[in-house]
Structure 1
Amino acid sequence: MKLKLRIICLLACLPLITPAQLDTVIYMKLNKQPTSKEKAFYCITLLKKSDKKFVETRFQKHPDIQWSQTGYSKIKVLSDSVLKVKKYQDNKLQLKLKRYFSPVNDSIYYFEEVDKQDHLWRTGYTKNKFPLHLVQEMKTYFENGQLESIRTYKDNRCIESTHWHEDGTPAPENRAIDLDSLAEFPGGQAELFKFISKNIRYPQQAKNKRITGKVFLQFIITDKGKVSDVKVIKSVHPLLDEEARRVVGSMPNWKPAKFMGKHVNIRYQVPINFKLIGFW
């Protein structure tokens, strides 16, 4: 079965914290393997606030070589086997949990994460207590206790994943494996948006009715680089939806994504903004 992934275009950028402020900086490639700062796609920083308090921050690099913060965690060491973790996104507290560890052997720990309401949130195996360095298997759970996902890791890289909906039905296309490389439009992301801007034709009827908005589309870049299965996932108006679908469907072949050295299908999302300027 060919692999399908869902990739969301991230455009917001924030500066990376100066490494001199930090105790640990880990740079990783797209496939979560260690690399240099210049070649990195992800970055994890660890700041020691005291002997028992730390801040773990995660970043992602964008095509314009800017970094954006994807979230951070405040970690408090309660004992050798228990951590208290507060997870934040957009500077808002998202989750409070405790992470319990038990040694499997000299190099691997089994861990369980339980939230404030004593719901089991995640279990797995890791080489580090923080930042986690995942190995073997990790499971995540919904609040109702239903299994959400099982992911297989090899040296911190997700190489296989299976997901379910909250009612227990399979979600076969919701995959989260760590690719070697993403699918790429010829010339990169900047050229992608230039292509859309150059080829979009604002429907006259939509202009007359002053219909505006942002249409979100989802499509597959096949292992041959072809664009297929174009769908509108957030509609504005049938006139704009159809034009957005037409433009995406007319795109040239992409450079296909790679996983474990082989080309694979990848599911991609892109927004197309219809805006009338100087139109009254």
Structure 2
Amino acid sequence: MNKLLTLTFLLLLTGSVKAQITRYYTKAFQKQELKETPQKRLYYFENNGIRFEDYRDNKLDIKGFMYGTNSIDQTESYLKYLRNDLEMNYNPTFDALYGTITDVRNNGKLDESYCFRGKKRRYIQVWDAEERPLLVSGTGTKTESVNDGKRNLTLIYKDSILVSCYSIRKAENDTIYHKTDKIASPKEGFNAFTPKLAEAISYPILAQLVGKEGLVYISFFVEKNGKLSEIKPTTNEGFRMEAKALKQLAKLPPWHPATFQGRPVKSEYTLPIRYKLVD
């Protein structure tokens, strides 16, 4: 009887480790999709927490482990916040969540590894393109060419904290800040801005007739004076979906600019806009 009990326990334990759920997402892992997409996340229930792996086109993008929850929905919401670091995506229930994440480059080499708890993030190590460690006692600088060589990106770490992140565009000779003390935002606030913009953008007639839905992404810069510049789509859904969104974004008044160390700075923003038919 003792032998039977032991075998049963081992089988149950093994089964709990193998529990896996797969979900598919939009381009930036912002929203779950019911259909298969190039972006997928695998969730595993094990060791009183949830292990996760993100893939783009079947290539590992990030991997990590989260403690403090056994809810996939809560894990998904928190990872959305961690990926974009937007205050509007933060929920007070995230205060109890903690764990580790490792980012992986397209070629499979390690990029960065950090631990997190609530809003706090502490970097364990970051690596250059050849996977050489750059942090000594949590302090160091990482500089590399990105966007097909069009930008030089610089990240500065001190005592395991990312204190500065900016890129310099070579052709335009300007500096874009990616880590700021305060992000750029509409003057009326995001809660009022989002439904107002959605109401202003008209649904393309042909898309309605054929039942076409879509998700478009529009990127732009917010200048030091708050003006929106270089507004352009990063998707191509067709049916003039991008054109309709661009038309309204071009009419927007200046935003509050991002600030860093008490001064306004130029920042970059990508806005997702979903076209969805309703009965």
Using structure 2 for the length normalisation, give the TM-score: 0.50
- What SS does structure 1 have at the residue aligned with 2:133? strand
Alignment of 1:68-107 (within 5 A): 72-73=100-101, 87=102
Quote the offset at 1:10 in angstroms: 7.9
* 1:240 paired residue number: 241
Partners of 1:210 and 1:228 lie apart in 2 by 32
CA deviation digits over 1:143-198, x for unaligned, max 9?
A: xxxxx85534456344365589xxxx999789665312100112332222112222
d(CA) in 1 for partners of 2:112 and 2:254? 47
**Identity fraction in percent:** 17
Check whether the contact 1:11–1:62 (CA below 8 A) recurs between aligned residues.
no
Query: 2:142 pairs with 138, 143, 153, which one?
Result: 138
- Give the match for residue 155 of structure 2: 151
Matched, 1:62 2:69: no
Give the Cα separation in 1 of the matches to 2:139 and 2:245. 40
Partner deviation per Cα, 1:95-153 (whole Å, 9 max, x = no partner): 67999xxxxxxxxxxx8859xxxx832432333xxxxx334x235699xxxxx855344
The gaps in structure 2 that reach 5 residues or longer are: 1-26, 32-47, 49-64, 68-78, 114-124, 147-151
Matched ranges for 1:1-280 at <5 A: 59=82, 60=85, 62-63=87-88, 65-66=90-91, 67=94, 72-73=100-101, 87=102, 120-127=130-137, 133-135=138-140, 137-139=141-143, 150-153=154-157, 156-159=161-164, 161=166, 177-278=178-279
Letter in 2 for 1:188: G
User: 2: CA distance between counterparts of 1:193 and 1:199?
Assistant: 10
| TM superposition shift of 1:236 | 0.8
Structure 1 residue 9: deviation in Å? 8.4
Looking at structure 2, the residues matched to 175 and 248 of structure 1 have their Cα atoms a distance apart, in angstroms, of 20
Larger helix proportion of the pair: 2
Matched residue pairs, number?
A: 186
Give the whole-Å Cα distance in 1 for the aligned partners of 2:246 and 2:217: 10
Judged with a 3 Å threshold, the aligned counterparts in structure 2 of structure 1 residues 235 and 173 are, in CA distance, closer, same or farther, namely farther
1:161/1:123 CA distance change after superposition, 3 Å: farther
Higher relative contact order (CA 8 A, sep 6+): 1
- Which structure is higher in strand share? 1
Structure 1 residue 65: Cα displacement: 3.8
The CA deviation at 1:212 is: 2.0
Q: Which amino acid aligns with 2:213?
A: T
Counterpart residue identity of residue 72, structure 1: T
Other structure's SS at 1:270 match: strand
> 1:255 Cα shift?
0.8
The two structures, once aligned, show a CA RMSD in angstroms of 4.6
CA contact (8 A) 2:221 2:229 kept: yes
- Using the size of structure 1 for normalisation, the TM-score is 0.50
Deviations 1:27-54 (A, max 9, x none): xxxxxxxxxxxxxxxxxx998xxxxxxx
Structure 2: how far apart are the matches of 1:62 and 1:70? 17
Q: 1:248 Cα deviation (Å)?
A: 1.6
Contact conserved, 2:207 with 2:239, CA < 8 A, in 1?
no
Q: Give the Cα separation in 2 of the matches to 1:204 and 1:179.
A: 40
Paired with 1:71 and 1:174, the residues of 2 have a C-alpha distance of 33
8 A contact 2:218–2:234 mirrored in 1: yes
Counterpart Cα distance in 2 of 1:97 and 1:271 = 26
Distance change >3 Å, CA 121–CA 208, structure 1 → 2: same
Within 1, Cα distance between the matches of 2:126 and 2:87? 32
Aligned AA (1:123): P
